[in-house]
Structure 1
Amino acid sequence: MSESYAVGILNDVVMGDDITEYLQRIDSTLAPFDGHFIIHGGSPDVREGQWTGDLIILRFPTSDAARHWYNSDAYQAIVPLRINNSLGTVAIFEGVDRQHRATDILN
């Protein structure tokens, strides 16, 4: 099984008490599922097009772990803190192994 990633692209984040609480609580929701941040916002070095928003990528050992984290009571308890204070998209992606080549998607 490949690692999986929860990817969020957030825009118009209203920094306030709710987002602060979300940030203070999210790490403890990740721990039981062996999830951790690999990208958490920052200033991208844009090479093509225009970049808007903040990119967040979390790594999990499996897609089941990522799904269980997102659906967990602990995470669902804090989701409204983010949703009510930002616009964004969140999705879970299964990773590919190190031998993957671009042409593999043609098969």
Structure 2
Amino acid sequence: MVALTRLMKSSARFLQQQKTVPRWQLTEGDRSIKRRFKFKDFNEAWGFMTRVALQAEKMNHHPNWNNVYNTVEVELFTHDAGGLTDKDFTLAQFMDKAAGAAAD
């Protein structure tokens, strides 16, 4: 099981995890990470969201996201911990792999 302990920005674990998702940005207040995925078209964006939704259900960890045509904007944080946890970085890594070369 992945830890639900909030990761503090100054911790070694946080810095280690942040390196695994270099395309994600830390939001103001250091409580979440976000990324915009841009796909060729709506079908690719929707396919990506479907793959992520299945994984999110398995993890019981659901993204805050928005989809407009070929663009998916995502913000990840763990509500129960009040900020970022290992779960957020694990899901971000999955999303990066699920998007593959199809996303900018």
Question: Shorter-chain TM-score: which interval?
Answer: 0.3 to 0.5
Q: Which has the higher helix share?
A: 2
Q: TM-score, normalised to structure 1's length?
A: 0.44
